[in-house]
């Protein structure tokens, strides 16, 4: 049987680092202790003025390809997972294909907010399993939300950050990506997002004059226990799908919005925090990039070895959710 395997990972975190203390000066009010106590964020990184989302993706892609020993022209498919594209159209994956020199690769973008990367990984793995012409795939989660932040809104400017994470997938005979599962709860589509610039609210001069630049906004609250209820259910669904148990999973990687939510979820699962990994304390919330960035950090820290069972759990605006369970085959 033909399987999709992760050959390598890579990441890019922009150079500019902004601490909670620096944001306090911008906002004119204390946020540091609240962020540390309630979210777990201490700092975040932002892309430079001349950088765009495809540049972040390019840096992460180059690192992943170098580790895998794969040349850009060997790629059959380039997938970019992001809800902060370079522009509404054409897709950022086409821009990345050009910048990378992956001249033989097809492209597509995936946008289901912060669940984009795990969704893209699921789709890409099925391309490899189902199409013998697709053997090497680059999947990049890239996030440039600082371009869409209102710096007067402490609910958003304290959380969101920029970055990119990448994986190179290859075809192999040994099990790699075992299963995935996608969910959506569309009743929350109007709770969190960037609600301008599309066909609903085009960024016409009249719209911008009346409403200002479209920014990312929390419009209404999600249920406080949403992830702590839905993530365990998604975990159990994937375990059942693959005939594995919770004790078999070496590492859990969750969406990096809130460390306290991850702690509560691990408690529900009955699993110690030593079997997860987090990066939001150092790099803030990097949205559709946060899972590949955190996975790469865990790999480089030696927390994942060949043959280990790894589970990825994502949720994002929409409300979209995606889970993946895999055997680690990467470098």
pLDDT computed for residue 240 by the predictor: 98
Q: What is residue 145's predicted lDDT score, i.e. its pLDDT?
A: 97
Computed over every residue of the chain, the mean pLDDT equals: 96
- Reported as half-sphere exposure (CB side, CA atoms, 13 A), residue 119 has a value of 23
pTM of the model: 0.96
| pLDDT tens column, 133-147 | 999 999 999 999 999
pLDDT at 181: 98
CATH number of 1-331: 3.40.47.10
In this prediction, residue 110 carries a pLDDT of 98
Residue extents of the structural domains in the chain: 1-331
For residue 130, is pLDDT > 90?
A: yes
Residue 139 is predicted with a pLDDT of 98
Taking CA atoms, 277 is separated from 48, 254, 293, 303, in Å, by 27, 8, 11, 9
Residue 135: the pLDDT is 98
User: pLDDT above 90 covers what percent of the chain?
Assistant: 91
For residue 65, what pLDDT is reported? 98
Q: Which residues pair with 9 in a beta bridge?
A: 167
Going by pLDDT thresholds of 50, 70 and 90, the confidence category of residue 238 is: very high
Cβ burial of 185 (10 Å; 0-12, 13-18, 19+) is middle
Q: What is the pLDDT of residue 197?
A: 87
Which is it for strands 177-184 and 320-327: parallel, antiparallel or unpaired?
A: antiparallel
For the segment 222-238, the average pLDDT, to the nearest whole number, is 93
The predicted structure's pLDDT at residue 223: 84
At 316 the pLDDT is 94
Is a pLDDT exceeding 90 seen at residue 1? no
Mean pLDDT of 161-183: 97
Whether residue 196 is predicted with pLDDT greater than 90 in this model: the reply is: no
pLDDT at 222: 81
Residues 6+ apart with CB under 8 A from 134: 76, 77, 127, 128, 171
How far is CA 44 from its chain centroid? 15
pLDDT at 210 over 90: no
Q: In what order do the strands lie in the sheet with 3-12?
A: 3-12, 162-172, 136-144, 77-81, 106-110
> Which pLDDT score, from 0 to 100, does residue 221 have?
85
**Which one, of 212, 213, 217, lies nearest residue 156 by Cα?**
217
Q: How confident is the model at residue 203 (pLDDT cuts 50, 70, 90)?
A: confident
SS3 59: helix
């Amino acid at each position: 049987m033909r399987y999709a395997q992760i050959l390598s990972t890579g990441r890019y975190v922009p150079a500019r680092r902004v601490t909670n203390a620096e944001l306090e000066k911008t906002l004119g009010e204390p946020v540091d202790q609240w962020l540390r106590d309630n979210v777990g964020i201490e700092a975040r990184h932002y892309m430079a003025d001349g950088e765009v989302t495809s540049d972040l993706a390019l840096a992460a892609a180059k690192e992943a390809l170098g580790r895998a020993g794969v040349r850009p022209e060997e790629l059959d498919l380039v997938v970019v997972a992001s809800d902060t594209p370079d522009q509404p159209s054409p897709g950022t994956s086409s821009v990345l294909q050009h910048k990378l020199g992956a001249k033989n690769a097809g492209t597509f973008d995936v946008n289901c907010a912060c669940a984009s990367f795990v969704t893209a990984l699921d789709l890409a793995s099925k391309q490899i399993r189902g199409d013998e012409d697709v053997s090497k795939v680059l999947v990049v989660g890239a996030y440039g939300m600082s371009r869409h932040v209102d710096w007067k809104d402490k609910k958003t400017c304290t959380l969101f950050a920029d970055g990119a994470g990448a994986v190179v997938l290859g075809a192999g005979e040994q099990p790699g990506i075992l299963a995935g599962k996608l969910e959506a709860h569309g009743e929350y589509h109007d709770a969190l997002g960037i609600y301008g610039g599309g066909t609903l609210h085009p960024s016409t001069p009249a719209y911008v004059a009346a409403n200002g630049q479209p920014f990312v906004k929390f419009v209404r609250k999600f249920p406080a226990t949403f992830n702590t209820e839905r993530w365990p259910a998604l975990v159990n669904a994937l375990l059942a799908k693959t005939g594995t148990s919770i004790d078999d999973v070496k590492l859990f990687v969750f969406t990096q919005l809130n460390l306290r939510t991850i702690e509560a979820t691990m408690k529900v699962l009955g699993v110690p925090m030593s079997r997860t990994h987090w990066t939001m304390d150092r790099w803030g919330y990097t949205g559709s990039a946060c899972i590949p960035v955190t996975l790469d950090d865990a790999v480089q820290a030696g927390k994942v070895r060949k043959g280990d069972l790894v589970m990825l759990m994502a949720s994002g605006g929409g409300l979209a959710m995606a889970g993946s369970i895999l055997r680690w085959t990467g470098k």
